[in-house]
Amino acid sequence: MPISVILNADDLGLTAGINRAIFQAARAGAVTSASLMVGAPGWDDALAGIRSGGAGLSVGLHLNLTVGRPLTAAPTLHGRDGRFFSLRALVLRATTGLIDPDDVLAESVAQLQALAAAGVVPTHLDGHRHVHMLPSVGPEVLEAARRAGVRFVRVPLEPLREAWRRPGAALKQAALRASAWAARVPAGGPVRVRGMALIGARDVGRSLVELLDRLPPGVTEIAVHPGHVTPELKALDPCTVDREGELAALTSPDVLARLHDGSLRLIGFADL
């Protein structure tokens, strides 16, 4: 069985700077897939890039429950100002039974329908800040994906031997595994997920090459977060400077040479 790699860039549509970085990494021959945030500040710019060719990317939904406003009424997903709750508030509400699963289902369906209305046939689904792994959220997201015919939903449970390399990644893995919902999700299904240990790495390029060297046969999705840092991004997301480092790594000669040395297949979700 060959080693197949999907290099998926999260957060397409969050800002125009992130969009530019993702399309740049795709044109360089690294990124093969991207997850798009419906209605985020860079949404229109991202759609323009996709419609002009999109550098051949597979495009999926990056389910958003924390940035901006919901597409639906969803009373248990937003505050009095009509904006989504913060991630911290969302987690607290999800773990204390204050989220109506029907609100999650309606919002997930609406975001998938918005992609379709924009002419994008989603090849996969994942969640911004892994919100789709929260209890009372995950099952409804799976149902929305099933209704839309989306076959691949990310399960970001990585082996602890990978996560321990970065303290922040290890903490995030511990939190994900503690989720009652995550405990019922089989890890490592048809598409394995890696990449958490790249976030904040001192040398992202070296870490990525080492990760590629360790991949077993089968299909692995590596989640990456390239971006150009702008004031808009700083106001929206805590992950900023690391994005520049990921972009530099993805477009570096060493990483590109490893990706195209013939030992693995670079594919998108559309190829599965």
Indicate the pLDDT class of residue 14, thresholds 50, 70 and 90: very high
CATH of the domain at 90: 3.20.20.370
Q: Which domain holds residue 103?
A: 3-271
Kindly list the distances between the CA atom of residue 123 and the CA atoms of 13, 60, 82, in Å, as whole numbers in the listed order: 16, 5, 30
Indicate the pLDDT class of residue 218, thresholds 50, 70 and 90: very high
pLDDT value at 168 more than 70: no
Collapse the DSSP code of 265 into the 3-class scheme (helix H, G, I; strand E, B; otherwise coil) and give the result. strand
pLDDT value at 197 more than 80: no
The answer to whether the beta carbons of residues 104 and 140 sit under 8 Å apart is yes
Q: What is the reported pTM?
A: 0.90
Q: What is the pLDDT of residues 96-133, one digit of tens each?
A: 999 999 999 999 999 999 999 999 999 999 999 889 88
What separation, in Å, do the N-terminal and C-terminal C-alpha atoms of the chain show? 14
Q: Taking residues 38-59, report their average pLDDT.
A: 94
Indicate the pLDDT class of residue 199, thresholds 50, 70 and 90: confident
Q: Taking residues 85-89, report their average pLDDT.
A: 94
Query: Where is average pLDDT lowest: 6-10, 154-158, 260-264?
Result: 154-158
Share of the chain above pLDDT 70, in %: 88
The pLDDT score that the predictor gives to residue 156 is: 79
Indicate the pLDDT class of residue 81, thresholds 50, 70 and 90: very high
Collapse the DSSP code of 241 into the 3-class scheme (helix H, G, I; strand E, B; otherwise coil) and give the result. helix
The answer to whether the beta carbons of residues 34 and 59 sit under 8 Å apart is yes
Structural domains counted in the chain: 1
